[in-house]
Each structure stands twice: as structure tokens, then as C-alpha cells.
């Protein structure tokens, strides 16, 4: 085996490996053993033909081809060990020749992440303030939701519930014909056509009205745009919402019931404060991360970005499959080629990759790690909150190694985020614990997809400058190096 090492960039190394017959032999033997069971060679029972016969029957090259699948990864691992290299993710391999086997592997190294002046960055948490108006708004909504529709005898106003007979025709052709439909006229209601609702205003119960409506030119369906539609409308009934009085009586009917209006107000206040608090925590965390990204200089191999694009693409494909679409069909809908699609994913992928790298680096820098006990604790708390019959199934899920890995990853992420928030506030480690637990949770979902898509080879990119944009999604963990 001959290995030539070449440093193509600070974050990448290209290994050229040439194998000789002696290196190949054990692998070819394995591929022979795999192949022989499938081959029906005259004169031999299945699986009984000796290697020399098989080699002649299918040809040596075919056996080598078959062997490549495991020959290259294993040889590469060996080569990496010999050269004492650590691959950050799976290297990209290019097979140059089969006889004898030689290949070229581009090995991405640990990216260099420099936090720059980040440790001197200080951010302020914005205090959360809830005004009485916000509480009132929520209460108003409760009122509107619980209000019953009561018949009224007055002309129609916006927001009333009408029962209508409607006939509409366009150039003699019927476009609408409904009897006894419920309709709520509202200024922004565009059904059946924009501008229909205002005609109903001021009509009385039992009244008929004929009018001609011109559909606006920008109506999305061209066969109707700019046409005149003649309507005949009869109002059968008019109902309006009877808003209940905002008093203790009302409070008792909301949700599980509250003692008094005061109790309800207190509860609502508490709830929206909580929401706003976790929202603001999350935003603060995002701002901290953005600050970290802004200060950090990341030089990573192009391969990492390509992998990330690949991961992202696979995620999108999964999402599409959930909607019963495959990628090709989707691409033909939006009229894009796969290339363009990938190009579009590039900024998002770069963003995610950078987040992943800085979080990883921060974890190293701050020596944050998750112990198996902590994982177990997390699992126990998840089990405790699930119901009896689920617990058994959950326990089975949690005993799987990769579930534990993904829990570990998300715990680590949470811890790193906590530390990050502490740093930007100039706090010592452990001071601001717990405050950010909720927000960190939402960032965990991407973890699984991360680790899954690690093993694929990707085409090289010409340009992959790390971009530093702010994003809304959480950062990822889980893309630990695969190579030993």
C-alpha cells in the first residue's frame, strides 16, 4: 500500500492510496464469499464453487467492484491511522483505478474556530413587561369566544352572522347558487368575491337585494377577473354576538372555572408573562449566538458545507415525502433543477454548519460535557411525565443507543446555550442555569437528521465562504467525527 499525503488547504488533506495485490486479496476473498452464494455455476451447487472458478466466471474486476464497498473505507481508516489523521467527517473518496485499486480521499480536518473578541462582548437582557392592555385583549377574546349568537332585529352590521340565499351569475352563467348559507360579512372577507360583503350592510331581515359586482382585475382566477357578476341576495336571518358581562360570573365559565374575575386576570397575566419570558429568553439566546457567530472566524473544509447541504436536502425530501411528494415532482412544480435547489439551500446550510461548529467549539472551550447519569435522569423525567401504557414503549425507545445519543446531544446543546447566555452577561459558569431550558428545547429537533446523513459522499463545491447570518432555528449537535 502506497500513501501519498498532500495538504490541499489548512483544513483539508488529500490522501492518494495505491493498493497492491497483497492488500487487495483479503477484501477480494470477502467479496468472493459474498458473491458465491448467489451464483449458479454449471457443475457446482450454489455456494460451493471455489474462488478460482468464480473469479473466472464473473471476472476479477467484478469481484473488485464488489469489494470496493468495504475495501475503501477500511483501507482509508487504516491509512488515516498510519498517517495519524483525524477526519472531522467522512472523507470524500474518488476511485481512480481498479487494477490495481487506487483512490484519492479528501479528508476534512477539524475546522479552526476562533472566537475573537467574543468573551468581551456583553449583552443586556431585555426585561419582560406585560401591560394591562395585553391582559384585557386576552379577556376580550375569551368573551368573544364564549358569546352565543342571538337573533337581532336591526340592519346588518359587519361581524353579524347571516343566513342567506345567494344567486350569482356572470354573463348568464351561474357562478354561485346557495340557499340557507351562513355568512359573516367582514371588510376583509373575500368570499365569494372581494367587495361582496359591503353590499350586505344595512340590509334588514327578510330583505331582498339585487346588485352587480365588478370582480377586481387582480382576482387570482383569470376567468373571473374584471367581469361583472349579478347577485340576488335574500337575508333570511340576522344574528349578533351577545358579549357576556366581564364579571365573576363570567370567570367561573372560563376553562376549568375561576373563583373571581381577579383570579382569572391573575392567571392570564401569569400565562402571558411566562410566554413572553420564554420568548425573550429564546431571543436573547439567539442574540448571544449571533454575537458569537459574528465574532468567530471559522475556517472549515468545503466538504463540511457540502455535507450540510446534503443533510438539509434530505430533510426537505423527508418533509416532502410526508406530503406524499417526491423531490423530482416537487422540483417540476416549482420549475427548478436539483442544482438550483441545492444552491438555494446553501446559505441555510452554511448557517447551520457555523452554528454547529461554534457550539461545538464552545463546548470544548468551556469543558461542557454530558455524563451518562444526566442522560438517564433526563430519560427518567420524560418517563415520569408519560402515562402508564406508554411508559413501556417509551422505555424500549430509550434503551436504544442512538436515542440516548440524541438525548445526550440535546442536553449538551442546552448546557452550551446556558453557558453562552452566561458569558454574554458576564456571569460565572452555573449562575444563570435553568432560565434558558425551555428555549433550548426547541433547538433539539434537528439533531437526529444531523447524525443520520453523515455517511454520504458529496460533490465538491467551488465556493463555500462561511456566511454569518442570523437565523431563527436552533443550532445542531450530533455531527461528531465518524473516523476513529
CB of 61 to other proteins, least distance (A): 16
CA distances from 40 to 49, 53, 392 (A): 9, 12, 48
The radius of gyration computed from the CA coordinates of the chain, to the nearest angstrom, equals 33
The grid coordinates listed for 85 are 489523521
Q: What angle do CA 92, 21, 85 make, to 5 degrees?
A: 35
CA torsion sign for 98, 99, 101, 105 is negative
By CB under 8 A, which span of 27-35, 43-51, 145-153, 476-484 interacts with other proteins? 43-51
38 is an interface residue for other proteins by CB under 8 A: no
Measured from the CB atom, is 50 or 257 closer to other proteins?
Answer: 50
Measured from the CB atom, is 51 or 287 closer to other proteins?
Answer: 51
Q: Is residue 99 a contact partner of residue 64, using CB atoms and an 8 Å limit?
A: yes
Q: For residues 452-464, b (16+ Cβ closer than 10 Å) or e, as one string? A: bbbeeebeeeeeb
Q: What angle do CA 252, 258, 263 make, to 5 degrees?
A: 130
Cα 391 from chain centre: 27
Cα 222 from Cα 472, distance rounded (Å): 37
48 is an interface residue for other proteins by CB under 8 A: yes
CB of 42 to other proteins, least distance (A): 8
Q: Is residue 197 a contact partner of residue 236, using CB atoms and an 8 Å limit?
A: no
By CB under 8 A, which span of 47-55, 135-143, 354-362, 382-390 interacts with other proteins? 47-55
50 is an interface residue for other proteins by CB under 8 A: yes
44 is an interface residue for other proteins by CB under 8 A: yes
Cα 312 from Cα 292, distance rounded (Å): 23
59 is an interface residue for other proteins by CB under 8 A: no
CB of 65 to other proteins, least distance (A): 21
By CB under 8 A, which span of 45-53, 252-260, 292-300, 399-407 interacts with other proteins? 45-53
Beta bridge partners of residue 151, listed in sequence order:
239
CB of 19 to other proteins, least distance (A): 25
45 is an interface residue for other proteins by CB under 8 A: yes
49 is an interface residue for other proteins by CB under 8 A: yes
Cα 453 from Cα 446, distance rounded (Å): 12
61 is an interface residue for other proteins by CB under 8 A: no
Of the candidate residues 53, 85, 123, 437, the single one contacting other proteins (CB under 8 A): 53
127 is an interface residue for other proteins by CB under 8 A: no
By CB under 8 A, which span of 44-52, 61-69, 130-138, 468-476 interacts with other proteins? 44-52
130 is an interface residue for other proteins by CB under 8 A: no
Cα 350 from Cα 463, distance rounded (Å): 11
CB of 33 to other proteins, least distance (A): 17
CA atoms within 13 A on the CB side of 155: 6
Measured from the CB atom, is 2 or 48 closer to other proteins?
Answer: 48
By CB under 8 A, which span of 51-59, 86-94, 199-207, 377-385 interacts with other proteins? 51-59
CB of 36 to other proteins, least distance (A): 12
Which residues are CB-contacts of 145 (< 8 A; sequence separation ≥ 6)?
none
199 is an interface residue for other proteins by CB under 8 A: no
Residues binding other proteins (CB under 8 A) = 43-45, 48-50, 52-53, 56-57
Amino acid at each position: 500500500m502506497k500513501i501519498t499525503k498532500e495538504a490541499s488547504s489548512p483544513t483539508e488533506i488529500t490522501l492518494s492510496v495505491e493498493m497492491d495485490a497483497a492488500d487487495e486479496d483479503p477484501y477480494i476473498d470477502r467479496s468472493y464469499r459474498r458473491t458465491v452464494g448467489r451464483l449458479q455455476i454449471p457443475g457446482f451447487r450454489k455456494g460451493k464453487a471455489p474462488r478460482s472458478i468464480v473469479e473466472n466466471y464473473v471476472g476479477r474486476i467484478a469481484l473488485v467492484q464488489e469489494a470496493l464497498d468495504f475495501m475503501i473505507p477500511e483501507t482509508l481508516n487504516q491509512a488515516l491511522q498510519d498517517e495519524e489523521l483525524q477526519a472531522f467527517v467522512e472523507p470524500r473518496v474518488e476511485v481512480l483505478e481498479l487494477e490495481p485499486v487506487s483512490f484519492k480521499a479528501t479528508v476534512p480536518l477539524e475546522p479552526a474556530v476562533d472566537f475573537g473578541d467574543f468573551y468581551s462582548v456583553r449583552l443586556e437582557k431585555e426585561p419582560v413587561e406585560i401591560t394591562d392592555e395585553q391582559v384585557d385583549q386576552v379577556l376580550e377574546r375569551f368573551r368573544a369566544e364564549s358569546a352565543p349568537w342571538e337573533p337581532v332585529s336591526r340592519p346588518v352590521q359587519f361581524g353579524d352572522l347571516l343566513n342567506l340565499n345567494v344567486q350569482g351569475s356572470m354573463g348568464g352563467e351561474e357562478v354561485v347558487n346557495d340557499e340557507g348559507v351562513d355568512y359573516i360579512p367582514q371588510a376583509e372577507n373575500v368570499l365569494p368575491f372581494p367587495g361582496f360583503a359591503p353590499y350586505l350592510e344595512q340590509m334588514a331581515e327578510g330583505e331582498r337585494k339585487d346588485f352587480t359586482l365588478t370582480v377586481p382585475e387582480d382576482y387570482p382566477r383569470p376567468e373571473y377577473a374584471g367581469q361583472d357578476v349579478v347577485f340576488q341576495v335574500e337575508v333570511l336571518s340576522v344574528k349578533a354576538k351577545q358579549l357576556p358581562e366581564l364579571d365573576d360570573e363570567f370567570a367561573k365559565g372560563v376553562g376549568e372555572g375561576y373563583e373571581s374575575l381577579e383570579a382569572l386576570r391573575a392567571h392570564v397575566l401569569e400565562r402571558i408573562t411566562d410566554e413572553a419570558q420564554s420568548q425573550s429568553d429564546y431571543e436573547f439566546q439567539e442574540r448571544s449566538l449571533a454575537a458569537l457567530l459574528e465574532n468567530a472566524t471559522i475556517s472549515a473544509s468545503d466538504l463540511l458545507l457540502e455535507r450540510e447541504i446534503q443533510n438539509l436536502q434530505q430533510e426537505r425530501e423527508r418533509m416532502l415525502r410526508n406530503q406524499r411528494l417526491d423531490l423530482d415532482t416537487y422540483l417540476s412544480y416549482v420549475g427548478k433543477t436539483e442544482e438550483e435547489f441545492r444552491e438555494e439551500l446553501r446559505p441555510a446550510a452554511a448557517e447551520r454548519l457555523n452554528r454547529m461548529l461554534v457550539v461545538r467549539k464552545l463546548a470544548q472551550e468551556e469543558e461542557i460535557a454530558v455524563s451518562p447519569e444526566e442522560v438517564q435522569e433526563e430519560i427518567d423525567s420524560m418517563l415520569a411525565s408519560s402515562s402508564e401504557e406508554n411508559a413501556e414503549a417509551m422505555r424500549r425507545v430509550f434503551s436504544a443507543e442512538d436515542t440516548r445519543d440524541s438525548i445526550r446531544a440535546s442536553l449538551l446543546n442546552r448546557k452550551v446555550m446556558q453557558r453562552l447566555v452566561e458569558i454574554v452577561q458576564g456571569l460565572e459558569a452555573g449562575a444563570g442555569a435553568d432560565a434558558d431550558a425551555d428555549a433550548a428545547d426547541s433547538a433539539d429537533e434537528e439533531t437526529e437528521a444531523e447524525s443520520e446523513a453523515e455517511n454520504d459522499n458529496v460533490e465538491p463545491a467551488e465556493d463555500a465562504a462561511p456566511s454569518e447570518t442570523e437565523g431563527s432555528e436552533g443550532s445542531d449537535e450530533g455531527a461528531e467525527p465518524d473516523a476513529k
